[in-house]
Amino acid sequence: MSIPTFRILGLAFTAALTAHAQNSGDKVPGRYIVELKPGASVPAVVAKHAVLPDVVFSDAFRGFAGDIPPGKVGALKLDPSVLSVVEDRVIGAHARPKAGSGGTVTRAAEVLPAGVARIGAIPGVIAQTGSGIGVAVVDTGVDFKHPDLVLGAKSFKAIVSRTKLQLSEGPTVGQDDNGHGTHVGGIIAARHDGYDVIGVAPEATLYAVKVLDSAGSGYDSTVIAGLDWVAKNAATLVPPIKVVNMSLGRPGTVGDNTSYRNAVKKLRDLGITVVVSSGNDQSKEVSAVVPATYPEVIAVASTSAKDGTDDIGWFIGSDTASYFTTDGAFNSTTGIGVTISAPGEDQENIVSGYIQSVGILSTRLGGGTTRMSGTSMSSPHTTGVVALLYQQAGGAISPETVRSKLMTTASKIGSAPFNSPTTSYSFDGVREGVLDALGATGTTLP
């Protein structure tokens, strides 16, 4: 991937943008997702067409996925029991490599991260802590051994091995082997225990739903399998899952995989709020990113949490749109667009003519802390606030009510996010404001 050069005030600034999955959005040759009509039988359709799926979906929708020979695809599409047949696609995590200084390998004294501080989720100020609320982290997994994270009794894994999707469920099968999901989980719910960092909802319970592999890559079908597991188990788990975080995505449109969207719709209909990252391609809007384009999700763009430093006499300030963020004005008619912006990086520094993104400090795979930046980090800040809202509402609040609260209580509505000074940045026409935990929960500062 080429490294873009940004020009600010006539000077050239370069910033590295790394796609986690280089082929994100590509179709997987020969692999399909089949959704059946209500009442149709998966075994009957499978037997009729003599196909061998590697995963069956039962709760998000009725269907299956797997390798299907070209000669059988057309027949499946014509089957009156079949609603849709779509090609599977590659999907990846929405994080950039860790940047900046800071972080530890072993436990250190607790730090209030800049992002958590910026949104006002300050320990002891907000009455809600996320207690009694389950949050599904649909990602690379979560580190079950990290002492700063509290994991639920069940976890799930859907990973493609040798082109076959393999599913498993158990106490620790969702163990992280990449680090991305562990970092996301810490932003949401790192414990307030005097060590490492504190999350937005420090008493929420995380459920590891591993759908991305050790490289941070997966398929639409692995994500759907994870959502299917959530739909099946959300209400019976203790505590129940009320919020889903998906810091992942791929290029795409709202209608390119109707089954994926239907899985998200199912969770929405169950009263579960799905929060997703908008993407790390500043040349796109969320209408061109899946699942951020789905009207049923809360898509979150990235801002800087605090002022950066400089070596040329000026700086990039807090609440500035991150130079890498995907945005897009929210359309109340279609429901497509960015609901809110939130910190996806601590700050942007100017060093020797280069923009340096200093990542959010959060939990590290193997213990301690590390930094990462991206809309992958802005999404879990929002997820944490959503968990606080569910606790405040006694576990019962509609996803659209959640969206309304986030949008109407944001800070600096009409003025932020501020424009990124990079020439690649294009203002989307709406300054939706920055996530505000105090405003969303109605908390008054003492």
Residue numbers annotated as active site: 139, 180, 376
Whole-angstrom distance, CA of residue 406 vs CA of residue 440: 6
Taken as a whole, the chain contains a residue count of 446
Two tokens, residue 176: 């992280």
Residue 240, Cβ density class (10 Å: 0-12 exposed, 13-18 middle, ≥19 buried): buried
Find the helix or strand (DSSP H, E) in which 304 lies: strand 298-304
What residues form DSSP beta bridges with 157?
Answer: 168, 210
Contact 86, 258 (CB under 8 A): yes
Cα 151 vs. chain centroid, distance in angstroms?
Answer: 18
Whole-angstrom distance, CA of residue 239 vs CA of residue 137: 14
Find the helix or strand (DSSP H, E) in which 136 lies: strand 134-139
Two tokens, residue 325: 């963020």
395: left (phi over 0), alpha (psi -120 to 50) or beta: left
Grouping H, G, I as helix, E, B as strand and the rest as coil, residue 44 is helix
Whole-angstrom distance, CA of residue 223 vs CA of residue 210: 9
